[in-house]
Amino acid sequence: MSPSSSRVRHARRAGRLVGLAGLSAATAISLSVIPAVAQDGGSLSDAPLPLGSLGDSGSGSGSLGDLIPGGPTTNDGLYVGGVEVVDGEAADPDTLVGRVFDDANKNSRIDGGEAGIPGVSVSNGLDVVQTDAEGRYELPVRGDFTAFVTQPAGWQVPVDEQNFAQFSYNHYPQGSPELKFGGLEPTGDLPQAVNFPMVASEATADPQQSCAIASDTQAYDMQEMEYARAGAIADLMARDDYAGCGLLLLGDNVGDDLALNPALRDSYAEANGPVRAVPGNHDMDYDAAGPENSVDTYRRDFGAPYYSYDVGQTHFVGLFNIIYNGADADGGNGGYTEAISDEQLEWLRNDLATVEKDTPIVVAGHAPIVSYTGVVTDNAAELYEILAEYPNAVTVGGHTHTLEHHIAGDQRAEWAESGVPELTHDQVVAGAVSGSWYSGELNEDGVPYSYTSEAAEPGVLTFEFDGTERSEYYTVRGEPQDKQFLTGINSPTWREWAAEAKQWQDDDKAGEGPGPIATDTVSLEDVRSGESWISTSFFAGSTAADVTFSLDGDAAVAGTHTQPATGEALNKGWAFTDPVSATHNLSSSGSVAQASPHVWQFDLPSDLAAGEHTVEVTGTDRYGKTYTDTLTFTVEDSAGR
């Protein structure tokens, strides 16, 4: 028996209820930075480092969260329940029938004259129908399939005991093939009916919504799960602004060990709103023979792997854009392709056919459609063709453990080579709860620094909607909302150190490391060379952002964006690298991409005098929110000049 096979996802009844259990205005903000200092390469440990030894990345002087509209703080529609499965012989074994109904007494069964809800979309994973005046629907049976309802704005589907939304029914008459983590138990013949309960909710009708998105929790064991709980998850559980829209988990929710699914669910159980998820490549049954059963255990523990729902004035779509190759000869991970199946593309066409063309749409999947290094989802062009009539759609993904904001109109040579000459819709890559896979030394809070490869930190994304207007912001784990920068000095000496440190890592850290280096000092010789600059990673950065630098109180000067996305190929190398995150990762563990879509540079004047200097960095995101960051640095003259 699988670990969760005794738990009930749905309410079944044959004249009675059998079970309901679940699976157990621009504003300036200031920030000061303590820069990174590399440790001696041979002596790093996992013990928490003293403040400033590898650098605290900053301390905030206020929270932007107080300045953002936010969404409803409570949701009276939230209640524990499930989908009602009515036992008995189906009138037509080839047709699934049921009702979407107003569960006025919140007991997850139609009784007491409860009314049906008309005009609600219900799907079998391919076809999409809308309920009639009495809330009734009929759908073709498709062998093994998952049926699901699209929650309309103004309504709330039930949640289980861990706060995960309940809106789908798995019909697998014979159950899953034998799988390591159990998969699905046989459901038997088609039931008499499958009814989808929901209740009225002012919270989901509100045009102002905060929609939290957490990608790549990706814990491989309970130690890493505890790191996640102590970090970004704790931040989310302390918030009260996403009661209506809820929380969306963007896949790689665990790291291969699907026995961790219950712990993952428990980790998010105190969320302020309903939790939904999509699967990633590390959430699959690797011993499945092919894609057909690759997310059977996911379906058991979380429900439909793709679906849609409405909140406020926005239509949300969750996709599973990973196609599994099937198990290798040893029954292990046989690899995958980042792509959207033909079945899902057809379902998406049918789903969007019920949506007004000017509706704001969020298309979420584990893999981004594009990233700053290239097209990620292979059939991106097909998706963009479907979205062509929906100009207010945005795509959001995870998977790459990077934070990226790409805007319609951006162009990259790598995208053009893959059939996307110009981005037609905004793409956001949501960062990662795990950062760079829980890598690096522990910080003063006892969790890994885990700087991401492109110079961001672990955290979560939030979409804000004010009617049809969208904005988004990123919250760094354990930090106030105004923590949006990593700033340091990129000099010839640092670049030489970085190359040596990378070689040391490539050599499995054999011998002595390259020694310590600071990112808040620069030699007078390096300054005189004209090849030193201030580098800042601006987490809210995009091609529509502005970043300026003011040196020692002088007039602000526009910085140089290292990846302007005007059709060029990727600018890559130590010259385009943020030194703060790279110094951490090269001194311990963690990846360094030597490129980032959100790094700006400011050349230091070659005649800058020795001594202490201050640079103030001001970043304004595409929505007009302004942040500031201050770095105090020293020009050192070893000759005493």
- Say how many C-beta atoms besides its own lie within 10 A of residue 124's C-beta: 20
266 CB-near residues (< 8 Å, 6+ apart): 24, 162
Q: Which residue has better confidence, 404 or 32? A: 404
What per-residue confidence (pLDDT) applies to 272?
95
Q: Categorize the per-residue pLDDT at 30 as very low, low, confident or very high, splitting at 50, 70 and 90.
A: very low
What average pLDDT does the segment 613-624 reach? 98
Q: Which residues contact 230 (CB under 8 A, 6 or more apart)?
A: 445, 446, 447
Architecture of domain 37-58+484-636: Sandwich (2.60)
Q: Which residues pair with 427 in a beta bridge?
A: 395, 406
pLDDT at 639: 57
Closest listed residue to residue 85, CA positions, set 149, 141, 6, 10: 10
Name the band, by pLDDT with cuts 50, 70 and 90, for residue 61.
very low
In 440-474, which positions are buried (b, 16+ CB within 10 angstroms) versus exposed (e)?
A: bbbbeeebbbbbbbbbbbbbbbbbbbbeeebbbbb
Strands (E) in 412-484, as ranges, are: 426-430, 459-466, 469-476
Mean pLDDT for 340-356 is 98
The predicted pLDDT at position 47 comes to 33
Token readout for 632 is 């105090």
Question: Does residue 10 have a pLDDT over 70?
Answer: no
- Per DSSP, 502 falls in state H
**Domain ranges, ordered by start, for the chain:** 37-58+484-636
- Residue pair 321/377 in contact (Cβ under 8 Å)? The answer is yes
For position 69, what pLDDT does the model report? 55
d(CA 112, CA 455): 57
Is the pLDDT at 489 greater than 50? The verdict is yes
Q: Is the pLDDT of residue 5 over 50?
A: no
For residue 31, the model assigns a pLDDT of 35
pLDDT at 512: 87
pLDDT at 112: 82
Residue 530, amino acid:
G
Tell me how far CA of residue 151 lies from CA of 121, 201, 301, 317, in angstroms: 8, 11, 20, 11
Judge whether residue 515 has pLDDT over 80. yes
**Among 279, 261, 473, which residue's Cα sits nearest to residue 365?**
279
Q: Which two tokens stand for residue 31?
A: 């920030």
Tokens of 200: 């009225």
Contact between residue 536 and residue 560 where contact means Cβ atoms under 8 Å apart:
no
**Is pLDDT of 231 > 80?**
yes
DSSP secondary-structure letter at 455?
A: S
Q: Range with the lowest mean pLDDT among 69-83, 166-180, 214-228, 432-446?
A: 69-83
Give CA 554 to chain center in angstroms. Answer: 39
Q: Which residue, among 163, 139, 168, 172, has the nearest Cα to 151 in the 3D structure? A: 168
Q: What share of the chain is helix, strand, coil (3-state, %, to 5)?
A: 15, 30, 55
Region 532-552 average pLDDT:
98
Tokens representing residue 28 in the block: 């300036």
Calpha distance 246→214 (Å, rounded): 11
Query: How is residue 106 written in tokens?
Result: 């919140």
What residues contact 508, with CB distance under 8 A and at least 6 apart? none
Nearest CA to 516 out of 47, 59, 56, 52 is that of: 52
Q: Residue 382 corresponds to which amino acid? A: E
User: Averaged over 487-495, what is the pLDDT?
Assistant: 98
Give 287-313 pLDDT, tens digit per residue.
Answer: 999 999 999 999 999 999 999 999 999
Mean pLDDT of 161-173: 98
Residues 6+ apart with CB under 8 A from 396: 213, 250, 362, 363, 364, 365, 368, 427, 428, 429, 430, 461, 463
Q: pLDDT value at position 459?
A: 98
What percentage of residues in the chain have a pLDDT greater than 90? 86
> Confidence class of residue 43 from pLDDT cuts 50, 70 and 90?
very low
